[in-house]
């Protein structure tokens, strides 16, 4: 076997450093897919550095850079603006990373780094309009209050977004009807419908309008689709389609393998894409040899996952279940992962092994 590229490891053993990240950054337990709106403590979480301790009384959101009218806004200023509440689904760009081989060394996600919350706040678009960006503005640089070191670079977490996408972004100060929990960005975060989570900057404190592309670490080095030789390619943007299933039956504690009784059961789950509405979810109960179309639930909203269900008469024996989503733009989940150096956008189907008793 060829040696694994730098920054990746071949084979199974997760390192102590990966485990340390996994202990902090948790996924959605799959049975929690039963909730159309994810309870706050079950929504996936990726905390880049440390959760900062922010005083809401002195907090300001600054809007500056290439604008005619820089702004400095308190939380009360933001709350006095037009309010929007919307269910929005997003997942981590690294979701699925730990299933790649060789495995890119970073937060070792399996498949469940996702969640859907009722995010409430005000749209960034009208605020940006009032600030009057220059004609040459192309991006907004988003600066957070969490700080650390990555790739040898001391930094606040910073990421940019094309200005054409910024209008639809939500400056959110509420999650599921309450204030943002500390770990979800208290007192203010961005939520950009359809994008992977790296753009949904938590503890957001400054928006800088740029006339040149942002070249900070998280845009120039992090969150790009790398070639195996280490060349950074296109930046990561919108979510590819993915679907997940509530695992039927009950788990074995250690293996999480599912055990169930034979007979009729309704398989359920949720599917989403940042590139178009979900148009189809297919389900296999024979490891991918055959697929049946699931029924789609009514939409929760244009930017939220879509429920699906399919009746299955479970026969005794061992089965491998999987679901595959297709969006309106024609993107479909692959059956096997497409490898890349940093482990982004792995939207391959999840396979669930089920042992049905009897016979």
Q: Does 26 bind a copy of itself (CB under 8 A)?
A: yes
For a copy of itself, which is the closer residue by CB, 96 or 241? 96
Compute the distance between CA of residue 350 and CA of residue 337 in angstroms, rounded to an integer. Answer: 10
Q: What angle do CA 326, 329, 335 make, to 5 degrees?
A: 35
Q: Work out how close the CB of 209 gets to a copy of itself at its nearest, in angstroms, rounded to a whole number.
A: 27
11 contacts: CB under 8 Å, gap ≥ 6: 101, 102
Cα separation of 292 and 285, whole Å? Answer: 9
Judged by CB under 8 A, the residue of 1, 6, 254, 359 near a copy of itself is 254
> Which of 43/159 has CB closer to a copy of itself?
43
Stretch that binds a copy of itself, among 16-24, 226-234, 265-273, 315-323 (CB under 8 A): 16-24
- Asked if 85 is part of the footprint of a copy of itself (rule: CB under 8 A), the reply reads no
Reading the block at residue 176, the tokens are 């599921």
| Residue 22 touching a copy of itself (CB under 8 A) | yes
| Span 279-298, contacts to a copy of itself by CB under 8 A | none
Residues 6+ apart with CB under 8 A from 209: 63, 64, 65, 66, 67, 128, 131, 133, 134, 137, 139, 140, 141, 163
Phi, psi at 183, each rounded to 5°:
-75, -10
The minimum distance between CB 243 and a copy of itself, in angstroms, equals 18
Q: Does 14 engage in binding with a copy of itself (CB under 8 A)?
A: yes
Residue 47 lies near a copy of itself (rule: CB under 8 A)? yes
User: Is 1 an interacting residue with respect to a copy of itself (CB under 8 A)?
Assistant: no
**Which burial class, exposed, middle or buried, applies to 53 when counting CB atoms under 10 A from its CB (0-12, 13-18, 19+)?**
exposed
Closest approach, Cβ 223 to a copy of itself, in A, equals: 12
Q: Is 256 in the site for a copy of itself (CB under 8 A)?
A: yes
Tokens of 167: 């209008």
**Distances in whole angstroms, Cα of residue 145 to Cα of each of 33, 65, 91, 200, 202:** 31, 18, 21, 13, 8
Q: Using the rule CB under 8 A, is 336 a contact of a copy of itself?
A: no
Interaction between residue 49 and a copy of itself (CB under 8 A): yes
CA-wise closest residue to 64 among 145, 140, 147: 140
Out of 2, 12, 76, 82, point to the residue binding a copy of itself (CB under 8 A).
12
Selected from 10, 84, 250, 311, the binder of a copy of itself by CB under 8 A is 250
What is the Cα–Cα distance from 319 to 332, expressed in whole angstroms? Answer: 23
Site string for a copy of itself, 140-179 (x = CB under 8 A): -------xxxxx--x-------------------------
Burial class (CB in 10 A: 0-12, 13-18, 19+), 272: buried
Q: Are the C-beta atoms of 272 and 242 separated by less than 8 Å?
A: yes
Q: Binding residues for a copy of itself, how many (CB under 8 A)?
A: 60
> Using CB under 8 A, which of 3, 55, 212, 255 touches a copy of itself?
255
Look at phi and psi of residue 218 and say left if phi exceeds 0, alpha if psi is from -120 to 50, else beta.
alpha
Segment lying near a copy of itself (by CB under 8 A), choices 67-75, 104-112, 120-128, 135-143 = 104-112
CB-nearer residue toward a copy of itself: 97 or 303: 97
- For the bound state, the minimum distance from the C-beta of residue 204 to a copy of itself, rounded and expressed in Å, comes to 18
Q: Which residues bind a copy of itself (CB under 8 A)?
A: 11-27, 29, 31-32, 34-35, 39-43, 45, 47-51, 53, 98, 105-106, 108-110, 112, 147-151, 154, 181-184, 247, 250-256, 259
């Amino acid at each position: 076997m060829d040696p694994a590229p730098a920054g990746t490891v071949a084979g199974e053993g997760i390192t102590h450093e990966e485990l340390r990240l996994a202990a902090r950054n948790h996924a959605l337990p799959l049975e929690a897919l039963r909730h159309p709106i994810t309870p706050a403590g079950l929504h996936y979480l990726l905390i880049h550095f440390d959760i900062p301790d922010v005083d809401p009384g002195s907090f300001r959101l600054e809007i500056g850079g290439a604008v005619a009218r820089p702004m400095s806004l308190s939380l009360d200023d933001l709350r006095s603006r037009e309010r929007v509440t919307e269910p929005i689904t997003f997942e981590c760009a690294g979701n699925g990373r730990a299933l790649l081989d060789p495995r890119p060394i970073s937060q070792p996600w399996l498949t469940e780094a996702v969640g859907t919350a009722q995010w409430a706040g005000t749209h960034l678009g009208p605020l940006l309009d009032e600030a009057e960006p220059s004609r040459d503005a192309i991006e907004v640089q988003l600066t957070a209050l969490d700080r650390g070191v990555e790739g040898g670079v001391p930094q606040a977490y910073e990421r940019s977004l094309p200005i054409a996408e910024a209008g639809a972004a939500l400056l959110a100060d509420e999650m599921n009807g309450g204030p943002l929990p500390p770990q979800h960005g208290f007192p203010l975060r961005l939520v950009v419908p359809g994008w992977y989570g790296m753009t949904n900057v938590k503890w957001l404190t400054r928006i800088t309008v740029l006339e040149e592309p942002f070249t900070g670490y998280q845009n120039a080095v992090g969150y790009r689709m790398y070639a195996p030789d280490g060349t950074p390619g296109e930046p990561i943007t919108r979510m590819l389609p993915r679907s997940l299933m509530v695992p039927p039956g009950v788990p074995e504690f250690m293996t999480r393998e599912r055990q169930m009784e034979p007979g009729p059961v309704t398989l359920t789950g949720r599917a989403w894409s940042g590139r178009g509405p979900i148009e189809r979810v297919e389900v296999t109960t024979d490891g991918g040899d055959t697929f049946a179309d699931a029924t789609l639930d009514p939409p929760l909203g244009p930017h939220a996952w879509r429920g699906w269900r399919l009746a299955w008469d479970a026969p005794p024996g061992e089965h491998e279940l999987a679901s595959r989503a297709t969006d309106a733009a024609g993107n479909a989940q692959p059956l096997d992962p497409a490898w890349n150096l940093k482990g982004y956008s792995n939207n391959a189907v999840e396979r669930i092994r089920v042992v049905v008793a009897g016979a």
